[in-house]
Amino acid sequence: MARVNALVITGYGTNCEQECAHSVREAGADSADIIYFSDLAAGHSRLDDYNYLIFPGGFLDGDDLGAAQAAAQRWRWLETEDGKPVLDQLKAFFDKGGIILGICNGFQLLVKLGLLPAVGGKYFERQVSLSYNDSGRYEDRWVHLKSNADSPCVFTKGLDTMYIPVRHGEGKIIPKDEALLEELKNQNLVALQYVHPETKEPTQEYPYNPNGSPCAIAGLTDPSGRILGLMPHPEAFNHPTNHPHWTRGEVSDEIGIAMLKGGVNYLKGL
């Protein structure tokens, strides 16, 4: 059985790295290291020894210029001391079969890098963005999600509905045009949607859809299914007592770790 070595990238405003590392270990990863992006850029660490990469939530660069915009430029243009682009490591990581999970700020980074949604196999070409919530405010609440059974996403395989928290101010998907939005639906790249708690159907109703994303999009995958970006925080529901109503016995069947476990199972061939 393959070994799962997870890497959690931190620095420049990231603030959920410890929860992510803990959650992926609980999900069955053999190891989970936390490394600063600056160490990658300096050549002190490399992506070569890992096959599970997590971009956690946070406030990269204080969200100046737009959420994760500065970080995306950093990934695109920085070089290591030997003159090699840091981005080459990320490309090589994905090309050799690694999986990537971007949560909240990490999702914002993936779309601005162009790793998601990669419609037509066009990786590293920006096709969508994430902008301010329709509410005009930072949303900190728990939401109901439903996974797309027809999606190729390895992280959501076998999952149905979930109840996990969101914490963001810029979570609304903005596609470059309506044609692209249709492609996201037609190619089943919409991996997760916000749903109404009673009907379990995708909803545009606030606060169940906390940001107003079209088609109730909460998470996107790429054509390979090996990349997932989502605004909700599965790592923040890593134990039954994290549930806001656990003292009333209202604990969900699936805690957030189930999503991270999907990635572990894929790498282990389960």
Active site residue ranges? 104, 233, 235
The token duo for 123 is 């990786």
C-alpha to C-alpha distance for 193 and 59, rounded to whole angstroms: 23
Distances (CA, A) of 250 to 3, 34, 243, 245: 35, 33, 8, 5
Q: Report which of 10, 20, 86, 87 is spatially closest to residue 263, judged by C-alpha positions.
A: 20
Q: For residue 238, count other CB atoms closer than 10 A to its CB.
A: 21
- Give the tokens for residue 14: 């990231």
Pairing of strands 128-131, 217-221: unpaired
Strand, helix or coil for residue 102: strand
Residue 99: how many other CB atoms lie within 10 Å:
24
